[in-house]
Amino acid sequence: MRIRLSKARREALIGYLLVLPWMIGFLLFMAYPLYFSLYMSFNKVAITPYGIKATFTGWSNYKDAFLTDPDFLQELLLFVKSTILMIPIVIVFSLFVALLINQPIRGRQLFRAIFFLPVVITSGEVVQELFAQGAATIPLMDQSGVIAYLQNHLPHAWSDPLVDIIKRFILILWYSGVQILIFLAALQKVNSQVYEAAAIDGASPWVIFWKITLPEVKPFILVNLIYTTVDLFTNTFSDVIKLIQDNMFQIGTGFGYSSALAWIFFAVILVLLLIIAWFFRNRDRAAYAGRGR
């Protein structure tokens, strides 16, 4: 007997089937390590010849992270400030490049490959070496005294993240390849007849961008914001991740303390993602309410 499913149920079933391999992989390879990491964060962990010895210490690792370890809080706040400033730069740059290479010009496939190529070839070791050699910064900024001016005329709370962005600016643009492709997919979904109708009505390119292009790509802006946030927080040049790795192999801290730092870092990422999702959800609700009136 054939079972008839509605269109909505068929689409939902297809979606679950596509997600199923990831869910199986997560349960088999990631669920237990995540649980064990959370368990270790509440323990003092020692590696002995007889295996891992864990002594329950409660919230002491988390208290030490906020009250005893000045390096972690300093690096975390600096990285969060720098990332919050970097995210709009990456999004705007990606949208700008996507608009340019979406134009009917010769060789646009080559330009798309050029902008996406760094995502393919830059492994963690390559990025670290480039960063160590100063290839990620803008030489003009240092030569013209912009960095020194920011450090001398702004409070450290703002000059440090701005200088950090300048020193890694080229790397940030290198990691915009995926966002550019996502925006390209969004732009190619817009019906060209809408642009033609707007041009016939006398709309300028600026008006077309704000009234047609930007509303059409808005859902993809949210996707790129989430992707960029996760990518920047989990990238290899994160000083917070380096600090977590360093504490992992120290006798005084070890796996327990580094696990606590990792979960704090994860909580910060989650809070930022929830704020982004909440902001877009409220804006969408306000837009729909305005249309209803």
What are the structural domains of the chain?
63-292 (1.10.3720.10)
Residue 171, pLDDT > 80, answer no
Between 69 and 137, the higher pLDDT residue: 69
Q: What is the pLDDT of residue 263?
A: 92
Residues shown for the chain: 293
Say how far apart CA 257 and CA 45 lie, in whole Å: 8
Q: What is the pLDDT of residue 53?
A: 81
User: pLDDT tens digit string along 228-282?
Assistant: 888 888 876 777 888 888 888 877 778 888 899 999 999 999 999 998 888 877 6
Say how far apart CA 237 and CA 172 lie, in whole Å: 11
Residue 5, pLDDT > 80, answer no
Q: What is the pLDDT of residue 253?
A: 79
Residue 71: pLDDT band by 50, 70, 90 thresholds? confident
Residue 223, pLDDT > 60, answer yes
Under DSSP, the state recorded for 210 is I
The predicted model gives 67-82 an average pLDDT of 84
Q: What is the pLDDT of residue 176?
A: 80
Residue 284, pLDDT > 80, answer no
3-state secondary structure 212-251: HHHHHHHHHHHHHHHHHHHHHHCCCCCHHHHHHHHHHCCC
Cβ(98)–Cβ(180) below 8 Å: yes
Residue 119, pLDDT > 70, answer no
Residue 1, pLDDT > 60, answer no
Say how far apart CA 187 and CA 217 lie, in whole Å: 7
Cβ count near 206 (within 10 Å): 8
**Chain-wide mean pLDDT for the chain?**
79
Between 291 and 188, the higher pLDDT residue: 188
Cβ(190)–Cβ(216) below 8 Å: yes
CB-based contacts of 218, cutoff 8 Å, min separation 6: none
With 0-12 / 13-18 / 19 or more C-beta atoms within 10 angstroms meaning exposed / middle / buried, residue 83 is buried
The least confident of 1-10, 16-25, 140-149 is 140-149
